[in-house]
């Protein structure tokens, strides 16, 4: 380079007028007066000596890193094997399913028509089984019941009269009528005989004779009628009449029962314990039979709807025990048992996640759970763990 060349030529220009040092050879001696040069072999050894320790340190760190990675991989493989083993053991004794609390609701309505007289509960109120939650105006039902009682009593009296038969006074009256008709017949017979003698003598007209004969025939007929009436009074009512009266009494008694039932149905009773979800009518409203007044959600037992894959169907049975957990309280468990297994298969619902493909066929299960603390709400997602060792 020009700068280097200028620096190299500078000493020679300075000492141009000076004599050369003894024993020198001009510029060659000047060049030899500089610092001594190291041999190439010494420089190579120095480089080797300087590079070797660094290389050894880098290789040691690499070997330690590889050893650490190998240890981590071996630990992960061991943990994975242990997890698979434990999971297989758990799968042999337990079956985990996902489901939801079934929505169980009852629409409460009167079975008879009428005007609402009172409403005892409101939305959100808890009710017990057999509690009266509403009533209708009972006046009309009480009037119908009194009328039914009167008709029943009339039919009962009629049946009793027929079963007891004729009274002695009625029989005596029938016999007196027979005696009267016999006397009338005797008098008619005498009048006819007299008219018959006189008509031959011409003392009585033919017309009078015919009247006497007609009076005799009429007296005979009246006597026969009186005798039959006496016989019927002695025998009493026919069995057919008694049976008809007994049937009429049964019909009237049934009408009384219906009136009593309608009166009882004027009270709306909760069929089971639960919570009032909706109040659809107000006091004073006229309702028809079956018209919803309240909507009641049932509190117990709680039903869990879940699904099981077809390969696991043979591992479960009705009555098998299990536990139910919720996401809101995962540490709290509820005891349950299988109450129903669907006999038909269906496709997996979209709201249920299973381990198999969603297109696989599954079977619906119903798990019955006792919920004394009211911690399970309808529609809540839950996890069901079935104990496959249960044989109850």
3-state secondary structure of 347: strand
222 plus 267 within the same structural domain: no
pLDDT of residue 291: 95
State the Cα–Cα distance between residues 247 and 242, nearest whole angstrom: 9
- Phi/psi of residue 124, nearest 5 degrees: 90, -10
Query: In Å, how far are 59, 77, 86, 325 from 72, measured between CA atoms?
Result: 20, 9, 21, 36
Query: In Å, how far are 111, 149, 161, 367, 376 from 252, measured between CA atoms?
Result: 22, 8, 17, 49, 51
Query: What is the tally of structural domains in the chain?
Result: 3
pLDDT digit string, tens, across residues 136-182: 999 999 999 999 999 999 999 999 988 888 888 888 888 898 898 99
Domain contains 363: yes
120 plus 184 within the same structural domain: no
pLDDT digit string, tens, across residues 80-109: 766 665 555 445 788 999 999 887 889 999
Yes or no: say if 258 and 264 are a contact pair by the CB < 8 Å rule: no
pLDDT digit string, tens, across residues 106-141: 999 999 999 999 999 999 999 999 999 999 999 999
Task: Judge whether residue 204 has pLDDT over 60.
Answer: yes
What lies within 8 Å, CB to CB, of 130 at 6+ separation is 269, 270
Question: DSSP letters of 369-382?
Answer: E--TT----TT-EE
Domain contains 35: no
270 plus 322 within the same structural domain: no
State the Cα–Cα distance between residues 45 and 347, nearest whole angstrom: 81
Yes or no: say if 118 and 134 are a contact pair by the CB < 8 Å rule: yes
Domain contains 36: no
Region of poorest pLDDT, from 34-43, 210-219, 273-282: 34-43
Cis status of the peptide bond prior to 301, with omega within 30 of 0:
yes
Domain contains 63: no
* Cα 298 from chain centroid (whole Å): 8
In which order are the strands placed within the sheet that holds 114-119?
267-269, 132-136, 114-119, 286-287
231 plus 201 within the same structural domain: yes
Range of the domain at 352: 93-103+300-387
Region of poorest pLDDT, from 43-47, 155-159, 188-192, 274-278: 43-47
246 plus 151 within the same structural domain: yes
336 plus 374 within the same structural domain: yes
Domain contains 44: no
176 plus 250 within the same structural domain: yes
Domain contains 62: no
Our CA angle for 360, 365, 369, nearest 5°, is: 145
253 plus 152 within the same structural domain: yes
271 plus 229 within the same structural domain: no
Q: Name residue 134's beta-bridge partners.
A: 119, 268
188 plus 329 within the same structural domain: no
132 plus 267 within the same structural domain: yes
State the Cα–Cα distance between residues 190 and 186, nearest whole angstrom: 6
pLDDT digit string, tens, across residues 309-368: 888 888 888 889 999 998 888 888 899 999 989 888 776 555 555 544 544 678 889 999
């Amino acid at each position: 380079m020009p700068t280097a060349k200028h620096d190299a030529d500078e000493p020679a220009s300075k000492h141009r007028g000076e004599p050369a040092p003894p024993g020198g050879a001009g510029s060659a001696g000047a060049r030899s007066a500089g610092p001594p040069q190291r041999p190439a072999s010494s420089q190579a050894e120095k480089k080797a000596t300087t590079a070797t320790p660094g290389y050894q340190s880098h290789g040691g760190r690499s070997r330690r890193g590889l050893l650490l990675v190998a240890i981590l991989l071996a630990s992960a493989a061991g943990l994975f094997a242990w997890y698979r083993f434990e999971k297989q053991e758990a799968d042999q004794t337990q079956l985990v399913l996902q489901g939801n609390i079934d929505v169980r609701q009852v629409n409460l309505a009167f079975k008879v028509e009428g005007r609402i007289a009172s409403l005892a509960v409101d939305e959100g109120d808890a009710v017990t089984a057999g509690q009266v939650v509403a009533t209708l105006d009972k006046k009309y039902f009480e009037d119908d019941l009194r009328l039914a009682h009167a008709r029943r009593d009339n039919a009962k009296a009629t049946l009793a009269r027929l079963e007891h038969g004729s009274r002695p006074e009625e029989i005596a009256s029938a016999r007196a009528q027979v005696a009267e008709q016999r006397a009338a017949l005797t008098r008619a017979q005498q009048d006819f005989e007299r008219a018959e003698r006189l008509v031959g003598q011409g003392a009585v007209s033919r017309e009078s004779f015919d009247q006497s004969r007609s009076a005799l025939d009429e007296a005979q007929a009246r006597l026969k009628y009186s005798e039959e009436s006496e016989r019927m009074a002695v025998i009493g009512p026919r069995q057919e009449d008694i049976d008809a009266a007994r049937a009429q009494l049964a019909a009237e008694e049934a009408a009384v029962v219906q009136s009593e039932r309608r009166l009882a149905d004027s009270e709306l009773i909760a069929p089971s314990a639960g919570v009032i979800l909706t109040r659809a009518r107000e006091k004073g409203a006229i309702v028809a039979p079956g018209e919803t007044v309240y909507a009641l959600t049932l509190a117990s037992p709680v039903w869990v709807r879940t699904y099981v894959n077809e390969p696991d169907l043979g591992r479960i049975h009705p009555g098998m025990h299990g536990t139910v957990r919720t996401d809101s309280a995962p540490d709290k468990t509820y005891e349950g048992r299988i109450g129903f297994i669907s006999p038909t298969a269906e496709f997996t619902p979209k709201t249920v996640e299973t381990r198999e493909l969603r297109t696989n066929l599954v079977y619906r299960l119903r798990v019955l759970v006792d919920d004394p603390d009211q911690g399970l709400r309808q529609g809540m997602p839950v996890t069901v763990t079935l104990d496959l060792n249960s044989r109850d």
